[in-house]
Structure formats: structure tokens, C-alpha cells
Amino acid sequence: MSTAYCMKCEGKHSINGETSKKAKNGAYLVRGKCSKCGGKVATFKKG
């Protein structure tokens, strides 16, 4: 389970329903919903 910064509730929370996609530069984009408020969050992970 990954964590990302949520702009809506201004904190770092875990991601619910995360999906990952490989970007052109080789990093992975992880998207999902904030576990606290349900807003959209995204973060990059080095792969």
C-alpha cells in the first residue's frame, strides 16, 4: 500500500483502490483515492 499527499485534506495518507501505470521515463504513476476524504491522489514511484 502506497501513500501520497492529498491536496484536499492537506496531509499524507494511504491510497485506496490504487492503480499503477508505467510512464515514459520508467517511473510508475500510482493513482487512487485518499483514505481519509476520498479525493483523487497520485504519486510517482521509482521503478
Whether the Cβ atoms of residue 37 and residue 9 lie closer than 8 Å to each other: yes
Q: What is the mean pLDDT of the chain?
A: 92
Q: In the prediction, which pLDDT does 31 show?
A: 95
Answer whether residue 47 shows pLDDT above 90.
Answer: no
Closest of 46, 47, 44 to residue 3, by C-alpha: 44
pTM, two decimal places: 0.78
Residue range 5-26, pLDDT digits in tens:
999 999 999 999 999 999 998 9
Quick check: 15 and 1 in contact, CB under 8 A?
yes
Residues in contact with 38: Cβ distance below 8 Å, sequence separation at least 6, in sequence order: none
